[in-house]
Amino acid sequence: MKTSLTRCVVHLCAPILIACCVWGTFAGPLTAHPLDPLTWQEHWAALKVLADAKKIDADSRFARLALRPPDKQAVWGWSPGQDYERAAEVVIKQGRRTFEAVVDLRANKLASWAEVEGVQVPWLDEEYQSPTLDRVMEDPRFQRAMKRRGVKYLQFLECTVNPHAPIGEPQYQGRRVGIVTCSQRTDVRNAAARAIEGLYILVDVNTGDILEFTDEETVTAQGPDADYDLGSTKNPREFSAPIQIQQPAGPGFKIDGNTVEWDRWRFHLRSDQRVGLVISTVAWDDGTRRRPILYEGHLSEIFVPYMAPQKMWASRTHLDVGENSSGGLSQTLEPGVHCPANAVYFDAIVVQDNGWPKDKRRVVCLFERYAGDVAWVHEEEGRQKRVLVARMCAAAGNYDYLIDWTFQTDGEIRVTVGATGIVAVRTAPKKNAAEGGAEGDQLYGRYVADNLIGVNHSHFFSFRFDLDVDGPDNSFLMDEMAMAPLPQGHPRRGLWVSRSQVAEREQDVLQHGHEGASIWRVASATAKNSQGYPTSYQIMPSHPAHAPFMPEEDVARRRAGFINHDVWVTPQSVDELYAAGKYATLSKPGEGLPAWTAANRPIKDRDIVVWCTIAMHHVVRAEDWPVMPVVQHSISLRPFDFFDRNPGIDTGPRP
Ligand SMILES: [Cu+2]
């Protein structure tokens, strides 16, 4: 409802007026921008609409309650003071059934309600501690298994039910299958080296049934302590000369709500419960006009398959974003630990299992970084590098992923994933060669400490970039390098040349994915630079996915089909946000990108989305234990003929 009162409030931004309005009678936006996350009040308004419509009760469980993406054109066209839509999208688990709802927050009414069949919502917070655990721990098979392993204190076992990643088990189709894992919590802070090995226990958390109990091997060995806290490491080696980061005049960026301005950049940021940090409406202000570059970018999925044959390990093929988003992927950031002293923080609201909102503090930090890097230099002229960083930390089980969006004065945006945390270790006694154990165990990993094998695995990170380079009408260019022979008599036999090709349809991109030294670009269909070239942005992954190590028919690989190609390009669609599909928990093979692109839709001269996957194939080192130093992989979004020359040339000499 576009009331004049709304406009008045938004225009004046007057806190007094807002305070006078009682939520429920006034349904205008209380946010500063159409992409701002739902407020506490909007969250409750959505719940009340669902309750009034008799759609939810005390047993309803919420897998999502978040901003429904507003119309994209309306967002680009919006300017402060104008009215805009507000709606919530909701995913609800009712018993075994799944429902999707949309609540119109302006009209305060239910816009849609529909059942989605054959899917499983992301794992709920309460399901990690499902009552089914009691049945497992009381089961005589479990008690015998613990006795065989010499576990003395059953009451000090910490067991959890995690979403199971199916490895070809059709008999469990349609069930809400969880896998039970336990570790001994006594004596140490870090229980990663105290996991109970050799059990494969599957349960149905909907029914409480124990579906499978396999005791594959009895492992009584134990690894050494693996604590890494300050009290355990003792005598920290302090530097004698401290370094301080100070910005006496405050940060060099401006924040208005969730909108950030820094140098030539302007963008909006928010935290989403499922994918974490979302960067939107990124534009470059050249002084005369604001040029759009990226409508929206965010992490889309993480896939971490382990490479050991024991069933429990073979089934560790996690789709971390789609399976574990309940409670929020973004971790609370510790000042001075996750982010530097000059950082500012953004809070978020996440939905709890019962639908109620919950505050989550400091899930995104924003800071400028200046630490001696060089932006450009030649002879005595040059500029020190100062960049703007927006950071989140995705906590996914034993791993922590620091995800940075770095904005540079030269027009580049770099998305970096820093993997750290605890590598997953398999407890296995170190046998000598004569016993025949060592070689078999070490084929699938490497010893990092006595009796502890860091199991081989990969990390795949898929990012979704809805680029709008000088507007939404874009094309995808593939510049292939090729050898061009030179005529007889020329002293050189041949040279390489670069040939540009436009992708007409989705499959054109997939056929070129791994070829040679490709340059992938998203180019404007209309805008050209001063030399007549289409303005474009290059997508440059530091470590492409390269997934040749898993057979194509492997169920785990097929559930994460997005890893088959480093880059995919699709027509823009708000229904296609997650590379392995919207419902990744217990998903069937082939969902997400492989299913969508099978239609081979046209992608030339239209609004397109680029999906880029980077990978880390992790052969574990001794130095990765007991806590792993950060290792970085990145994707650069790099201007390519977007400007007429180096746009960082006019930056001042003072960083
Ligand atoms: Cu790893």
CA quadruple 260, 262, 267, 271: dihedral sign: negative
Q: What's the gap in Å between 530 CA and the centre of ligand 1?
A: 46
pLDDT digits (tens, 9 = 90+) for 557-583: 999 999 999 999 999 999 999 999 999
Residue 481: predicted pLDDT: 87
Helices assigned H by DSSP within 131-278: 132-138, 140-148, 230-233
Rounded Cα distance, 241 and 227, in Å: 28
Q: Are the beta carbons of 28 and 98 closer than 8 angstroms? A: no
Mean pLDDT across the chain: 91
Check residues 404 and 13 and name the one with the higher pLDDT.
404
pLDDT over threshold 90, residue 12: no
pLDDT over threshold 60, residue 549: yes
pLDDT over threshold 50, residue 13: no
Least confident residue range of 101-105, 344-348, 532-536, 551-555: 551-555
Residue 620: predicted pLDDT: 96
What residues are paired with 251 via a beta bridge? none
Q: What's the gap in Å between 459 CA and the centre of ligand 1?
A: 6
pLDDT over threshold 80, residue 604: yes
Q: What's the gap in Å between 453 CA and the centre of ligand 1?
A: 13
Q: What's the gap in Å between 423 CA and the centre of ligand 1?
A: 6
pLDDT over threshold 80, residue 312: yes
The continuous run of DSSP H or E covering 559 comes out as helix 555-559
Q: What's the gap in Å between 65 CA and the centre of ligand 1?
A: 31
Q: What's the gap in Å between 273 CA and the centre of ligand 1?
A: 23
Token pair 């260019």: residue: 477
Q: Are the beta carbons of 494 and 486 closer than 8 angstroms? A: yes
Rounded Cα distance, 295 and 610, in Å: 12
Residue 518: predicted pLDDT: 83
Report the pLDDT averaged over residues 604-628.
96
Q: What's the gap in Å between 476 CA and the centre of ligand 1?
A: 32
Report the pLDDT averaged over residues 520-546.
94
Report the pLDDT averaged over residues 206-222.
94
Q: What's the gap in Å between 290 CA and the centre of ligand 1?
A: 41
Rounded Cα distance, 267 and 539, in Å: 19
The continuous run of DSSP H or E covering 402 comes out as strand 399-407
Least confident residue range of 43-57, 238-252, 357-371: 238-252
Q: What's the gap in Å between 399 CA and the centre of ligand 1?
A: 8
CA quadruple 421, 425, 431, 433: dihedral sign: negative
Q: What's the gap in Å between 501 CA and the centre of ligand 1?
A: 36
Q: What's the gap in Å between 17 CA and the centre of ligand 1?
A: 52
Residues in the chain: 655
Q: Are the beta carbons of 85 and 27 closer than 8 angstroms? A: no
Least confident residue range of 10-19, 140-149, 404-413, 621-630: 10-19
Residue 443: predicted pLDDT: 86
pLDDT digits (tens, 9 = 90+) for 419-456: 999 999 999 987 654 444 555 667 899 999 999 999 99
Report the pLDDT averaged over residues 25-46.
84
Q: What's the gap in Å between 628 CA and the centre of ligand 1?
A: 9
Report the pLDDT averaged over residues 231-250.
90
Q: List Cα–Cα distances, 278 to 106, 420, 484, in angstroms.
A: 24, 21, 43
Report the candidate in 636, 411, 371 with the shortest Cα–Cα distance to residue 535. Answer: 411
Residue 27: predicted pLDDT: 47
pLDDT over threshold 70, residue 517: no
Report the pLDDT averaged over residues 40-55.
98
Tokens of 448: 């990092």
Q: What's the gap in Å between 394 CA and the centre of ligand 1?
A: 14
Q: What's the gap in Å between 618 CA and the centre of ligand 1?
A: 5
Residue 221: predicted pLDDT: 86
What letter represents residue 78's amino acid? W
* Helix, strand, or coil (residue 49): helix
Q: What's the gap in Å between 563 CA and the centre of ligand 1?
A: 16
Residue 511: predicted pLDDT: 85
Q: What's the gap in Å between 456 CA and the centre of ligand 1?
A: 8
Q: What's the gap in Å between 528 CA and the centre of ligand 1?
A: 43
Rounded Cα distance, 321 and 578, in Å: 9
pLDDT over threshold 50, residue 542: yes
Q: What's the gap in Å between 565 CA and the centre of ligand 1?
A: 21
pLDDT digits (tens, 9 = 90+) for 80-130: 989 999 999 999 999 999 999 999 999 999 999 999 999 999 999 999 999
Check residues 29 and 329 and name the one with the higher pLDDT.
329
pLDDT digits (tens, 9 = 90+) for 315-367: 999 999 999 877 788 999 999 999 999 999 999 999 999 999 999 999 999 99
